Amino acid sequence: MPKIDQTVTSYALRADESQHTLLGETIQPQTLEYPNLSGIRALSDPHDAFAARALLTQVAEKNARHSIGHRSRQPP
């Protein structure tokens, strides 16, 4: 466990903010069709779980690079 002074603050988007992300817009039809479901699915096969995490990491890194590049091109 990291020491208390080494922790990193984490943030979460509010539900209304997350609706305007690529993921939020992509899953919106399903969230409207199944409003009482969380969308979380447990992956019992460890290989599937690892592959899902790897894919999500790649997408997150790509989006972060795009976001940083977009912000750096905007005038101050």
pLDDT attached to residue 24 = 87
Residue 9 confidence (pLDDT) above 90: no
Read off the pLDDT of residues 30-76 as tens digits, 9 standing for 90 and up.
989 998 888 788 899 999 999 999 999 998 888 787 766 655 555 55
Between 42 and 10, the higher pLDDT residue? 42
Q: Which among 15, 24, 27 has a CA at the least distance from the CA of 63? A: 24
CA distances from 36 to 26, 33, 41, 73 (A): 18, 9, 14, 41
